[in-house]
Structure 1
Amino acid sequence: MGSLPKHNYSPTSHHLSMLQQITNDNDATNHMVRSYYKSFNGFAAMITNQEREKLKKMEGVVSVFPSKSLKPQTTRSWDFMGFKESIQRNKTAESDVIIGVIDTGIWPESESFNDHGFGPIPKKWKGACKGGKNFRCNNKIIGARYYLEDQPSARDIVGHGTHTASIAAGNKVVGASFNGIAEGVARGGVPSARIAAYSVCNEQGCRPDAILAAFDDAIADGVDLITISIGLPEQVTFDKDAIAIGSFHAMKKGILTINSAGNDGPNTATFSVSPWLFTVAATTMDRVLLGNGLMPLGKSINGFASNSAEILSSAGFINNSAPIVAEFSSVGPNMQIREIMKPDISAPGVDILAAYSPLKPPSPDKRDKRSVKYNILSGTSMACPHVAGAAAYVKTFHPDWSPAVIKSSLMTTAKPMNGSQLAEFSYGSGFLDPVRAINPGLVFDASKKDYVKLLCRIGYDTMEVRKISGDKSVCPSSSSHHHLPMTKDFNYPAIAAEIEPNKPFRINFTRTVTNVGFANSTYKAYIQQPSGINITVVPNILEFKSVKEKQSFVVHVVGGKFSDYSVVSSSLLWSDGTHTVRCPIILRVIKGKCYFYNKI
């Protein structure tokens, strides 16, 4: 998906012309599914394998890939993170934030989305309410669109989109529960924020062409960030990943995209791993829903009353071991760019109470005829909108921060976690802490140019990068790649690398931080030294004279011999006495380590 040319260009006409050339059909509209022309340049079409090969060879084509079905990933959580109702808020700024939810749609009549007390729609909004028949937007749900021909409505009949939207930005609702279970106040991370719903999924799955159309619209509509709790069936290269493509164009426009890590744990790397995405793993929280207070081996919630010591209606109990990574949460490492840690962060994703579609029974049993307004679901899908709500909260205090800076603020202030042999490859930088994130002290920034350089380093040539970036970026020839920053030196707020087993190693990592704390401040480095490794930082003291000042440092990691397939975890802390900036360091020991990168 390339960028749009700036002058005298009709995208749809060009797309139809290309289709006509490869199909030899005078009426190319017979093959066209949809054209993308608002925020980026591309189209979806019904063509044969032979026609696909012709299209790939045409001038100006960046990539051609099949449209495979993707899957949606399926009161107490915000309090558990320390994000209480009484926290400091900028309600005026919060009401100006627009969260784009790409999912199964939304149930507009839910109490979580009424617009009582909401002011006019933000003037920056350029979108529309095209939710279909009998769908009405309001000053809370300010936009709605749908993309599936067999489901001509943005009204949620699956329940998933309603659930995720209300976690991110649902209103405060007193007395919400699932049949009396987990009763309390249901609320989203930013209750005053607006929602734009983009329906791209049904019960059969989510189509990539619809996902790209939703990104195209959401960017043009003027959303501030996007949450998409949809997972890939397998890890694919970026040029075949609709979420990676759409989120790249969002990033160019200053829009952060938050994505769920997937529910295929403990399988590794089955999710989108693009570095401009914010990828979220799921954890438990301190509420366990059981019938007898004992920790189960399996997982179920019973909302039926019963007179049977064998089957009891579920109730809530305290789990003091939380948070730990959920067993279903997909894990890393990043198989596309191995020096970029994935997932990025963790958030609550088990037993989450949130709004639901009354058209969808709360269980998959066909005999279940119940209708509920709130339901309890588990999945990285539920963790993703927690991070979206937190990102929106940070943006209300720092509207000028880039997507990378918002991401950095949440990662470096996350709480350390335990309980996984894969360490950060399962839970990322740690457990989400939204309150600390609004004042992180130091941040790691990255621009579109930095991501373009990274694409060059891993194999894109100049013409491909120009078609994607829309500028006159130049990639050096493969023999001159040494002029580009190494992937290990990409300015990401975590350090990751692969090392060979039973061999000594020495690796240096360069990072640059920007001061967003006190004008005059001095940060000192503190290092957690794991057994068998020596980590040093040069310089180990950073002195800042002004806000937005940048300084660089180098992390030297030297080690002995480690056995194959082990993970070594450590961390670097920068502290000025008020702020603590934590940067994970994670090494994966694996036979056959290699730094050759195929073109993505």
Structure 2
Amino acid sequence: MILVKRPITGPGTSTKGYASIVGQLNSSFDSPRDEDGHGSHTLSTAGGNFVAGASVFFLGNGTAKGGSPKARVAAYKVCYPPVDGDECFDADILAAFDAAISDGVDVLSVSLGGNPTAFFNDSVAIGSFHAVKHGIVVICSAGNSGPADGTVSNVAPWEITVGASTMDREFPSYVVLGNNISFKGESLSTKPLPENKLFPLMSAADARAANASVENALLCMAGSLDPEKVKGKILVCLRGINARVDKGQQAALAGAVGMVLANNNDSGNEILADPHVLPASHINYTSGVAIFKYINSTEYPVAYITLPVTKIGTKPDPVMAAFTSKGPNTIAPDILKPDITAPGVSVIAAFTEAQGPTNQDFDRRRVLFNSISGTSMSCPHVSGVVGLLKTLHPTWSPASIKSAIMTTAMTRDNTMEPILNANHTKASPFSYGAGHIRPNQAMDPGLVYDLTNNDYLNFLCALGYSDKQISTFSDTPYECPSKPINLASFNYPSITVPTFNGSITLSRTVKNVGSPGTYKVRIRNPTGVSVSVEPEKLEFMKIGEEKAFTVTLEGKDNGGMKDYVFGELIWSDRKHHVRSPIVVKWF
């Protein structure tokens, strides 16, 4: 999906890569029309116009709009029905980048990606490099492979990589047990249970079919449930492996009247609002443990599930999604990824009527809007903000826009406490990058860290890429510097030292994009590391003026610690607070 301000030739498709695998395609593949819903949802999040009365089954009702609601938009279709697990082919992705560059787009929103790989083998990294060369800002999803460390994808420094976090809206649905203890979950179920009636409550493990394993039954996998055991009961299924909405379908097919979806340990407290096909509530891990305990300790366990409602003002918020992929960057450890986080949980946006809201074959319902979660949803939030920034500051480079977004982000939630992970532990820059996006502050960041095309090519040189590999990115032969650049001094808005041996001095340069002023430095030291900056004060007399400074990190007694530690560097003139994360790992 692309955001544009200028007229273009029109949306299009790229099918040659896909056709080379599956053979000749019929004419339906030549249309960019969305048959999946993912494209409609992400496009409208970034650039959808104002639409009153938007809702999902009357939940979340209000006026919908995208981040840049007055933008022209163009969709470039590159993903098709999966073949051997692949659905977005490199040739088609690169062809779409070429078309977008030719059409003169301003912002490119890329809600796709794969496993992190070397940049010269990464079609999104290659395509986005050429887009950035033309002044196009490229925003990418961080991936949905969390909460494990080192899972973040789309990690090139010229991309804006976006993680996913919650917003202060939820759709609570309560599970009320026979002992009058209730547990709050979430759902977008439309079917209510009869009021004032309790139903038998059963663990899906106890409902397994004769030929099924206990593990598969507990996950409510297809064919794992015995209808004679399930009929008329509320079934408790465990999250994992198969789709959350498919678990509800399997429960319904087996005759269940409702489903409680309990998180596994990895999912922690992350609960998502899904349009289940039967009365259902998705609860967190702790609540799930309590409900399973109730079932196992009660002769006749019974329960009720309330119909979901819309609630706003949730606290704490934002909270990092359990699914959002995390750093460190496994391809270029000197670059912190993700760069930023934005809302990506239970996001309501436009949807195709070619699919039901669950994207499952069994779902015959149709909706104009749908609630979906993923870094695919957080990416276009940032894309919409970038569209506005491009309008306000048309001369800013893609790197300056990225810097403005990163250095003005927040790392505290709406209770003024540090942002948490889904398991209620304190989140780190490996979850949220520089923090949660604040669009209004990004309009006037004060200072920016800028980078040029040659800076990026020198970055590739420092990675040891060959002339042939670099030629993938450069239109003409590029001669690397005789002395490779120090990656620690790459002028990125964050500072990462992945192999710290006790002492290092690095440099940065900032450009004034605001009013004249004097900035003073403030440091929060990483544990076991002392950070000093020279000079400690920067005075700017005009817009566009640049000032360099050095940052020295000295190791103190770290108690033998070999893990990452985090701090921050802030330049402030009292009006602006230009904050950069500091990430250090002892070598």
Partner residue in 2 for 1:366? 361
- Give 1:310's aligned amino acid: Y
Q: 1:239 to 1:531 in 2, by over 3 A?
A: closer
CA contact (8 A) 1:146 1:153 kept: no
2:42 to 164, 177, 182: 164
Structure 1 residue 313 and structure 2 residue 307: aligned? yes
Q: Which has the larger radius of gyration?
A: 2
Aligned partner of residue 375 in structure 1, secondary structure:
strand
Partner residue in 2 for 1:229? 111
Q: Separation in 1 of the partners of 2:305 and 2:30?
A: 41
Root mean square deviation of aligned Cα: 2.2
Aligned partner of residue 459 in structure 1, secondary structure:
coil
Structure 1 residue ranges (4+ consecutive) displaced by more than 4 angstroms after TM superposition: 293-300, 562-565
Aligned partner of residue 108 in structure 2, secondary structure:
strand
Aligned partner of residue 394 in structure 1, secondary structure:
helix
- Give 2:450's aligned amino acid: D
Partner residue in 2 for 1:459? 464
Aligned partner of residue 305 in structure 2, secondary structure:
coil
Aligned partner of residue 310 in structure 2, secondary structure:
strand
Q: 1:299 to 1:289 in 2, by over 3 A?
A: closer
Cα distance, 1:261 vs structure 2: 0.5
Aligned partner of residue 371 in structure 2, secondary structure:
strand
Partner deviation per Cα, 1:306-331 (whole Å, 9 max, x = no partner): 43562333222342111111000000
CA contact (8 A) 2:162 2:339 kept: yes
Structure 1 residue 474 and structure 2 residue 479: aligned? yes
- Give 1:302's aligned amino acid: S
Partner residue in 2 for 1:521? 517
Q: Separation in 1 of the partners of 2:559 and 2:158?
A: 32
Partner residue in 1 for 2:134? 253
Cα distance, 1:225 vs structure 2: 1.0
Partner residue in 1 for 2:563? 566
1:39-58 superposed matches below 5 A:
none
Cα distance, 1:473 vs structure 2: 2.6
Cα distance, 1:152 vs structure 2: 2.6
Q: Separation in 1 of the partners of 2:354 and 2:191?
A: 19
Cα distance, 1:565 vs structure 2: 5.2
Partner residue in 2 for 1:576? 573
Partner deviation per Cα, 1:133-179 (whole Å, 9 max, x = no partner): xxxxxxxxxx3435364523111010000000000010111110000
Aligned partner of residue 468 in structure 1, secondary structure:
coil
1:335-350 superposed matches below 5 A:
335-350=330-345
Structure 1 residue 265 and structure 2 residue 176: aligned? no
CA contact (8 A) 2:174 2:183 kept: no
Q: Separation in 1 of the partners of 2:468 and 2:353?
A: 50
CA contact (8 A) 2:445 2:514 kept: yes
Partner residue in 2 for 1:60? none
Structure 1 residue 212 and structure 2 residue 94: aligned? yes
Cα distance, 1:126 vs structure 2: 4.1
Partner deviation per Cα, 1:521-577 (whole Å, 9 max, x = no partner): 110001113442211110010011211011101111112325555331111111112
CA contact (8 A) 1:181 1:303 kept: no
Q: Separation in 1 of the partners of 2:351 and 2:554?
A: 52
More off after superposition, 193-202 vs 155-164: 193-202
1:108-507 superposed matches below 5 A:
124-128=6-10, 143-147=11-15, 149=25, 151-204=29-82, 205-232=87-114, 234-267=115-148, 268-292=150-174, 300-307=187-194, 310-317=304-311, 318-417=313-412, 418-420=419-421, 423-462=428-467, 464-466=469-471, 468-476=473-481, 480=482, 483-499=483-499, 505-507=502-504
Cα distance, 1:510 vs structure 2: 0.6
Cα distance, 1:422 vs structure 2: 5.9
Between 1 and 2, higher relative CO (CA 8 Å, sep ≥ 6) is seen in 2
Partner residue in 2 for 1:100? 2
Q: Sequence identity of aligned pairs in percent?
A: 41
Cα distance, 1:462 vs structure 2: 3.9
Q: Separation in 2 of the partners of 1:273 and 1:584?
A: 17
Q: Separation in 2 of the partners of 1:383 and 1:293?
A: 29
Consecutive unaligned residues of structure 1, counting only runs of 5 or more, are 1-98, 102-120, 129-142, 594-600
CA contact (8 A) 1:358 1:373 kept: yes
Q: Separation in 2 of the partners of 1:293 and 1:172?
A: 36
Aligned length: 448
Partner deviation per Cα, 1:113-149 (whole Å, 9 max, x = no partner): xxxxxxxx96x43423xxxxxxxxxxxxxx3435364
Q: 1:376 to 1:552 in 2, by over 3 A?
A: same
Q: 1:509 to 1:301 in 2, by over 3 A?
A: farther
CA contact (8 A) 1:495 1:509 kept: no
CA contact (8 A) 1:165 1:385 kept: yes
Partner residue in 1 for 2:245? none
Q: TM-score w.r.t. structure 1 length?
A: 0.71
Q: Separation in 2 of the partners of 1:371 and 1:342?
A: 37
CA contact (8 A) 2:170 2:186 kept: no
Q: TM-score w.r.t. structure 2 length?
A: 0.73
Cα distance, 1:240 vs structure 2: 1.1
- Give 1:350's aligned amino acid: V
Q: 1:494 to 1:189 in 2, by over 3 A?
A: same
- Give 1:512's aligned amino acid: T
Q: 1:299 to 1:564 in 2, by over 3 A?
A: farther
CA contact (8 A) 1:283 1:347 kept: yes
Aligned partner of residue 272 in structure 1, secondary structure:
coil
Q: 1:257 to 1:416 in 2, by over 3 A?
A: same
- Give 1:210's aligned amino acid: D
Partner residue in 2 for 1:29? none
CA contact (8 A) 2:32 2:75 kept: yes
More off after superposition, 300-309 vs 396-405: 300-309
Cα distance, 1:497 vs structure 2: 1.3
Partner residue in 1 for 2:269? none
CA contact (8 A) 1:273 1:279 kept: yes
Partner residue in 2 for 1:21? none
Q: 1:465 to 1:144 in 2, by over 3 A?
A: closer
More off after superposition, 557-566 vs 257-266: 557-566
Q: Separation in 2 of the partners of 1:195 and 1:231?
A: 21
Cα distance, 1:215 vs structure 2: 0.5
